Structure 1
Amino acid sequence: MGDQAEGVLTGDGVKTGTAGAAELKRGVLPLWAVFGVAIGVLAPASTLALAIGVVAATAGALSWLTWALTSVVVLGFAGGIAWLAMRFTSTGGLYGLTSHAVGSAGAFPVLSFQLISHVVAGPACVLGGAIYAKAFLVRIGVGDGMWILPLCCALITALITFMSYREVKVSAKALLAVELVTVGVIVVLLAVVLFSAPGGVVDDRQFDFSGNHFALSAVLAAAGFAVFSMAGFEHAATLGREARNPRRAIATAVVGSVVFVGVLYVVASYIVVLGFSDLSVLASTTAPLDALAEANGVGWLGYVVDLGVSVSFIASSLGIMAGTSRTLYTLSRDGLAPRALSTIHATQRTPIVAVAVLGVVYLLVSIAGTLLAEPTTSYGVLGTLVGYLLVAAYGVTTMSALIYAVMKRTLGAGIVVFATLTVLGMAIMYYYSFNPFPREPYAAVAWIFFLTVAATLAAYLVLRVRRSPALDRIGLNDRTSHDEEGV
């Protein structure tokens, strides 16, 4: 980018004025920090605590196979995104990469799906963190009043908003630290379960592929939910300015984080099922790790797990806010959002106005989720909508990478494999999500998704027919010297 206008420095140390008056710091994040953002948003500890049991309830003893298949599909998404990240850098995330590759035809729908999903995902994670924070407080005897959940939501939102206002490197350290500690505690618990199993470490139930125990439809149906649990790695792609050696760092973080959690979930799923002789008990419990801790004589770990999972959700919401605020920053620089959203704090060099706006949204939506329905239901509804939208965004991004490779005559085996996995994965995920059609409240989520897709396509066609300059500005201010020449 060229030189920017200085803008006006307020008494609070905030630069305002022309959009882009100050810029994000460049090259300050090492590889581990970019990887930390990806891992933090994926929040493996929260998935180990919640999603493993949900998948097992559908897929049964072969739930490890669900996670294995899902990991391969998501790796296709991640591979396509990493392929573009090796060629372009972005603060807009997926929509920025897609804009560089194929222009507004791909970038506009990705922008719509990505932004809506991220705005919804943040409050969902705040709500998840509040649910487990309350569980921890109840364990230590604080009580079970109606005010606890809303208060937890408010405190968590305030914390992540403050941390997002600080330099991203500080947030990245926090993301990686809390996830490693929490996952470490859960791994200790899983090791206790594995080596305490009465029948040994080999569970014949989990390798029985006979017709009486193996139902491919059940395995694939659960894969849809599992995809939701592996979403979020793409937030690393918003660090194109702040990452050191961004092409290598972002591509490595995107693919590496998916491989890491994929292996972790397969192994953890096997051990969790091993620990439950009666799978109906696993399907009915809301806290399988707590139940395993009690059954294996380490009930005290339940305290650590509850607190750690809450922190994991907080870390995830922090990473989502970091990425989404930079997407809003880029949109503002492109003239597609209010100019104020591109305001950068003069000392912290973070998009302070975008962070503040997201903080308000997180607060209102998460508290509403505690008051309008059962918190776990609200979390499931929000998370399901996020999953539908993100898979669409992943798919369009990967197919855009394939189109770019064809146009530039750089088509190779890698991008072909990634695109093939993407097409198959999307077909499987959507087919088994909507067939049979879900019941309420998830039926409403499905219709919201369909309407979002239809509205996005209609909006694009209207803007294209009117030849709106807004389409041509998508990604305009998101190019750097790291991008391929001539694009």
Structure 2
Amino acid sequence: MTTSPPTTTDTSTSEDLPQGVLPLWAVFGVSLGILAPASTLALAIGVIMQQVGALSWVTWAVTSLLVLGFAGGIAWLARRFTTTGGIYGLTTRAAGRGPGYFVMFAHLASSLVSGPACVLGAAIYLDAWLRKLGVPYNPWILASCSAVVAIAVTALSLREVKLSAKLLLLIEFLTIIVIVILFVVILVRVPGGPVDGRQFDFSGFSMAAILATAGFSVFSMAGFDHAVTLGREARNPKRAISLAVVGSVSACGLLYLAGTYVIVLGFRDVPMDGIDAPLDVLATHYDVGWLAHLINPGVAISFFGSTLGIMAGTSRTVYTMARDGMLPKALSGVDPVHRTPRTAVLTLGAIYLIVSVLGALLARATTTYSLLGTFAGYMLVASYGATVLAAGWYAMRTRSVGFGIGISVLLAAFGSGLIYWKSFNPFPEGNRFWVAIIFFVAVVGIVGSWAWLKRNRPTVAAQVGESDRRTDADVDEAEGVETSA
């Protein structure tokens, strides 16, 4: 294999996505923007704290380690293959069509739920901001906020992805600055000082309780993999995507550990029950309520950015699946002006709108957010775990096993098994019972549909991942890579 100087020539047609238009910062922006650290600090950490208590930081330590294992395996594959289908494309190239099919639909199921959950998160903080301005609470106002966010995300996603990447980076940077100011205030003003012995008291420690929330916490750290779908649009994609995947997860893991400590510290003498916007409460309690006027819209915009990134990645996955014949061909339509997957975006926008509005009207918004996130987390553990195991299989088959991919496979296999065991033993009750049932039905449905497809539609089954093989060839040609037989 020889390499000639790279070129940025766009060899795509008007019916395809543009090639080589996104620099490294834009790819990193998509990955970081979907992770949306500001939104996790504002809402997800509070949800975990109400379930786990003072040792919530342990949940994030365990989750960060597991997700970093997932990210390492995915990045390892992304350095070898390019794709517009995301991790399903990587899995297909590494381990074949069967595993690729499973990852394809498991990840799609997760993304279809994650998008509306983030729309709802944005609506929760928009509503909190409106209440600060004197608007009384009304579920129809919350539902209207959800509708506005879903429509705005859809409209912006119809334009070029580079614009989305710029917005994602700017949104996160500004919002995190405001949240960090609040954290500094808490550390300075908290009664008893900044050292919190409760968070290091393991006398009542329960790993079962920690792992029982791991599905939701994985959802809160997920989305970094959507950068993988930019395999055609990124410059030097094999380097840019792998750096974005591992870098964004590492940075957010450290931020969540520190943020969890400060938030738990801040609530040392404040009851947590029934709180929808914990940062809002902390700002008021520590006499900096004016910060809430910045935090609430900032976090809402952060959730908006996360939804925008999920839409960017999921629409490209749907586009690729439609090209492969796994979904209706109409979903592969591309906007002739902006060269974005228009039909997929419009379809996803309708799903985001309906699910988020119903979620705001039929239950407490934070409860809906938690349930959607838990289901998404279960599906993400399945899809991420299968992708990393596929990477391990490919490494053994090609005799390219190294320390990094070995550690990633061990973390993915052991961590996934432990999370599922503790999540379903004992089996969840109440609303989470139905979340677990839907998860198992979805997994059985995916496996069963693949068996049926192979037997009754073998020509369709043979198309899984085929468009990604063409994408990889196009990228190698554009970068001047010659491949010998």
Q: By the TM > 0.5 criterion, same fold?
A: yes
| Residue of structure 1 equivalent to 2:328 | 338
Q: 2:233 aligns with which of 242, 245, 255?
A: 242
| Equivalent residue number for residue 72 of structure 1 | 65
Aligned to 1:252: 243
- Indicate yes or no: 2:164 matched with 1:139: no
**TM-score, normalised relative to structure 1:** 0.92
Residue 300 of structure 1 aligns to a residue whose secondary structure is helix
Q: Is the 8 A contact 1:234 1:254 kept in 2?
A: yes
SS of 1:61 mapped into structure 2 = coil
Return closer, same or farther for 1:291/1:97 CA change in 2, 3 Å cut-off. Answer: same
- The aligned residue for residue 111 of structure 1 is 104
1:111 CA drift (Å): 0.6
Q: Is 1:431 paired with 2:424?
A: no
Contact 1:45 1:182 in 2 (8 A): yes
Task: Provide the residue aligned with 2:212 in structure 1.
Answer: 221
Which of 227, 247, 258 does residue 267 from structure 1 map onto? 258
| Cross-structure match for 1:329 | 319
Say if 2:182 is the partner of 1:189. Answer: yes
Kept in 2: contact 1:75–1:258 (CA 8 A): yes
Match of 2:410 in 1: 420
Q: 1-side partners of 2:138 and 2:51: how far apart?
A: 33
**C-alpha distance in 2 between matches for 1:319 and 1:442:** 27
Partner in structure 1 of residue 398 of structure 2: 408
> In the TM superposition, what is the alpha-carbon distance from 1:335 to its structure 2 partner?
2.4
| Cα-to-partner distance string for 1:72-105 (whole Å, 9 max, x where unaligned) | 0110111111110010011100101111111212
Matched, 1:198 2:191: yes
Equivalent position SS for 2:466:
coil
**How far 1:358 sits from its partner (Å)?**
1.1
CA distance in 1, matches of 2:91, 2:216: 26
Deviation, 1:142, is: 2.9
- Partner secondary structure for residue 400 of structure 1: helix
CA contact (8 A) 2:158 2:345 kept: yes
Judged with a 3 Å threshold, the aligned counterparts in structure 2 of structure 1 residues 145 and 208 are, in CA distance, closer, same or farther, namely: closer
How far apart, CA to CA, are the structure 1 residues paired with 2:273 and 2:360? 24
Post-superposition offset of 1:431: 1.6
Q: CA deviation at 1:206?
A: 2.0
The aligned counterpart of 1:457 is: 447
For the residues of structure 2 that align with 1:458 and 1:70, how far apart are their CA atoms? 30
Shift of 1:486: 7.9
Alignment of 1:44-63 (within 5 A): 44-63=37-56
SS in 2 for 1:345: coil
Q: 1:207 to 1:377 in 2, by over 3 A?
A: closer
AA of the residue aligned to 1:156: V
- Identify the residue that residue 282 of structure 2 maps to in structure 1: 292
Secondary structure of the residue aligned to 1:220 is helix
Contact 2:85 2:321 in 1 (8 A): yes
Amino acid at match of 2:37: P
Contact in 1 for aligned 2:55/2:200 (Cα 8 Å): yes
What per-residue deviation string (whole Å, max 9, x for no partner) do you get for residues 426-452 of structure 1?
Answer: 122112211221122211111111011
Cα-to-partner distance string for 1:34-72 (whole Å, 9 max, x where unaligned): 111111111211111112122223332222222112100
Deviation at 1:254, TM superposition (A): 0.7
Q: Does 1:353 align with 2:343?
A: yes
Q: Is the 8 A contact 2:15 2:334 kept in 1?
A: yes
Cα 1:231–1:103 shift into 2, 3 Å? same
1:370-390 deviation per Cα after TM superposition (whole angstroms, max 9, x unaligned):
222222222222221111111
The match for 1:307 is 297
**Structure 2 residue 111 is matched with structure 1 residue 121:** no
Per-residue deviation at 1:464? 2.2
| Alpha-carbon shift at residue 458 of structure 1 (Å) | 1.0
Aligned to 1:26: 19
CA RMSD in angstroms, aligned pairs only: 2.1
Cα shift readout 1:388-437 (whole Å, capped 9, x = no counterpart): 11110001000000000111111111111001000121122112211221
Q: For structure 1, which runs of at least 5 residues remain unmatched after alignment?
A: 7-20
Matched residues in 2 for 1:288 and 1:161: separation?
Answer: 28
Aligned length: 469
Native 8 Å contact 1:54 1:283 kept in 2:
no
Are the aligned partners of 2:47 and 2:370 in contact in 1 as well (CA < 8 Å)? no
The corresponding residue for 1:163 is 156
8 Å CA contact retained: 2:124, 2:142: yes
Distance 1:99 1:222 in 2: 30
From the superposition, tell whether residues 376 and 486 of structure 1 become closer, same or farther in structure 2 (CA, over 3 Å): farther
User: Cα distance, 1:3 vs. partner?
Assistant: 7.3
Would you say the 8 A contact 1:82–1:250 is kept in 2? yes
Instruction: Report the Cα offset of residue 112 of structure 1.
Output: 0.9
Give the aligned residue type for 2:146.
C
| Cross-structure match for 1:277 | 268
Residues 1:389 and 1:222: Cα distance change in structure 2 (over 3 Å): closer
Aligned to 2:80: 87
Q: Distance in 2 between matches of 1:272 and 1:237?
A: 32
Mapped partners of 2:215, 2:313: distance in 1: 24
Change (3 A) 1:86 1:438: same
Distance across 2 between alignment mates of 1:128 and 1:288:
13
Distance 1:306 1:436 in 2: 37
Distance across 2 between alignment mates of 1:215 and 1:153: 37
Identity, % of aligned positions: 53
- The alpha-carbon distance between structure 1 residues 198 and 380, as it changes in their structure 2 partners (threshold 3 A), is closer
